[in-house]
Amino acid sequence: MLDLKQHAKLRACIEISDSEIVMALFSLENELVFLDHVVLKAGEKNTEALEYLAQHNDFFAHNYANVFICIANSHYTLVPGALFENAGKEQLLKFNHPLTGEETVLSDEIFSAESFCVYSVNKKIKELFDKVFPNNHIRHKTTCLIESLPAVSSKTHKTCLVNVEGETMDVSLYRGKLLFFNSFAFQTAEDFLYFILASLEQNNATLDETEIVLCGEIETGSALYNTLKKYIPKIKFAVADKAILKKNDFVKLPDHFYFSLFNLYLCAL
């Protein structure tokens, strides 16, 4: 069990989606020292789960040197930097997503893509994090994934990064610059394959010239992986950035797991 007496010398990362909450702690030397993955029950709201954890989980009872939060939802839009105005970000988001009044609209600058990610956060979630961790810094999952693309991209092919979290997937296409990014909900391995192939076709990217890089909740031998292998020749798993140190039991953790959470940390360094 991690001794949190040294909490002031730790950095915290939290990723929250509609289906799960992941919490991690890193030392100031960038070593992963704690990881906890909470899967929400069927019908359970993430606001309720977060409120319970804030009251009963020791992770939320301490102050950390830094707290970085990743919002993993589908309520986002990408805006070219030349068209972005902070005062008008709500209107920009409304083009793609209706706002209910229960949300706060935030934005991240994505430096590698010269664009902004505009997204909404449930007000209850934002208020709870601000109360428990006043020094928090929030980013969207999309920002973390796009900023990782230059590091994972192929030198010789287009790169299609596919991130899996529960029954959602993020598909990005990169060749020296961001060409495409979108998120999809899927139920079957056939859906999973379809969204990848459709994304490639939409962007005139052939399988011969594209390398598929997998990250997140997908493993060799899974139905998702086996279905891809039947149709796609170039597949590999993302490799973790060497800036993050793993020791003891964390060495066994596959490099491509928790990819967006780890890149949240790397973006903040």
Contact 231, 199 (CB under 8 A): no
Q: What is the pTM of this model?
A: 0.94
pLDDT band for position 258 (cuts 50, 70, 90): very high
Closest CA to 258 of 186, 135, 164, 162: 164
Mean pLDDT of 53-82: 96
Is residue 174 a part of any domain in this protein?
A: yes
pLDDT band for position 102 (cuts 50, 70, 90): very high
Is residue 224 a part of any domain in this protein?
A: yes
pLDDT band for position 268 (cuts 50, 70, 90): confident
Alpha-carbon distance of 165 to 216, in angstroms, equals 6
pLDDT digits (tens, 9 = 90+) for 166-183: 999 999 999 999 999 999
- pLDDT value of residue 175: 96
Is residue 159 a part of any domain in this protein?
A: yes
- pLDDT value of residue 234: 85
The contacts found for 94-103 with CB under 8 angstroms, 24 or more apart, are: 103/75
Is residue 136 a part of any domain in this protein?
A: no
- pLDDT value of residue 243: 92
Mean pLDDT of 132-150: 96
Contact 146, 181 (CB under 8 A): yes
Whether the pLDDT of residue 269 is over 80: the answer is no
Return mean pLDDT, the chain: 94
pLDDT band for position 110 (cuts 50, 70, 90): very high
Closest CA to 184 of 202, 201, 172: 172
Neighbours of 124 (CB within 10 A): 17
Is residue 222 a part of any domain in this protein?
A: yes
Return the exposure string of 103-117: e unless at least 16 CB atoms fall within 10 Å of the residue's CB, then b: bbbbbbebeebebbb
Is residue 231 a part of any domain in this protein?
A: yes
pLDDT band for position 7 (cuts 50, 70, 90): confident
> What is the domain range of residue 162?
150-237
- Any idea what the CATH number is for the domain that residue 207 is in? 3.30.420.260
Alpha-carbon distance of 136 to 268, in angstroms, equals 11
- pLDDT value of residue 2: 61
Contact 44, 97 (CB under 8 A): no
Whether the pLDDT of residue 193 is over 80: the answer is yes
- pLDDT value of residue 3: 66
- pLDDT value of residue 4: 66
pLDDT band for position 1 (cuts 50, 70, 90): low
Contact 173, 179 (CB under 8 A): yes
Is residue 192 a part of any domain in this protein?
A: yes
> Quick one: CA dihedral 92, 98, 100, 102, positive or negative?
negative
Count of the separate structural domains present in the chain: 1
Is residue 204 a part of any domain in this protein?
A: yes
Alpha-carbon distance of 20 to 37, in angstroms, equals 7
pLDDT digits (tens, 9 = 90+) for 15-63: 999 999 999 999 999 999 999 999 999 999 999 999 999 999 999 999 9
Q: Is the model more confident about 83 or about 269? A: 83
Exposed / middle / buried, residue 60 (Cβ in 10 Å: 0-12, 13-18, 19+): middle
Closest CA to 173 of 153, 151, 143: 153
- pLDDT value of residue 241: 86
